Amino acid sequence: MRRKLVVGNWKMNGSLASNASLLSGISEGLAGTTGSGAACAVCVPAPYLAQCQALLSGSQVGYGAQDVSCHAAGAFTGEVAASMLVDFACQYVIVGHSERRAMHAESSALVAKKALAALDAGLTPIACVGETLAEREAEQTYVVVRNQLEAVLALVGDRVAQIVVAYEPVWAIGTGKTATPEMAQEVHARLRAQIAEKNPVECSAVQILYGGSMKPDNAVELMAQPDIDGGLIGGAALKAADFLAIIRAGK
């Protein structure tokens, strides 16, 4: 059975003081609970990776970044290489988040290259896929997410078990709308079936997270679905009590 995984995406939030309080609250809340809930991690703005390394080393809380360059080094001002994330002992990196796709025009081909760069550096990429409201209303959900995931699968090949996939319906992020557990499960099942087409042996090992406004009051029902292996959490990850409640829901 796949262990659940709950990853907090802080987006562009945080400060040294508030981070210290939040991470302390999460770590203290997990004390003595090894194995009783989901595995967990936080993906933070790059300037705070050193703080995470200092505060989380040896704890139950993993950590990582929110983006990575597809380039190893060079004249790419403002970008962060995978090797730099490794210097801070990161475990995870989000690639292809809907906000990156929309605001920075990231293509699925670029997202796939970023996932591969992360893998090559020993990081676990959290590859995001998801449809907009217009795409869902046009009944294009499965076409959109299939094409997005296909780009990643084509590059990672037989290393698919080393990635995490996150389904984030764009229309359910920060809007207060949430896909029903059954709606989310249907997409997750299709994504797993797509992985099975490429690698039937490893498909059951791949964690597929739900990233559409998972909160303490819906986490249990969502994670009870057979193909929902945890959550990629936005706003609720900024409150220790809420984040801990979601982690505990993944038992």
The residues annotated as belonging to the active site are 97, 168
**Number of Cβ within a 10 Å radius of residue 235:** 16
Measure Cα distances from 84 to 79, 121, 162 in Å: 10, 10, 20
The span from the CA of 167 to the CA of 32, in Å, is 31
Which tokens hold the place of 202?
């490893």
Number of H helices, E strands in the chain: 10, 8
Measure Cα distances from 116 to 8, 27, 28, 57 in Å: 22, 31, 35, 26
Contact 94, 68 (CB under 8 A): no
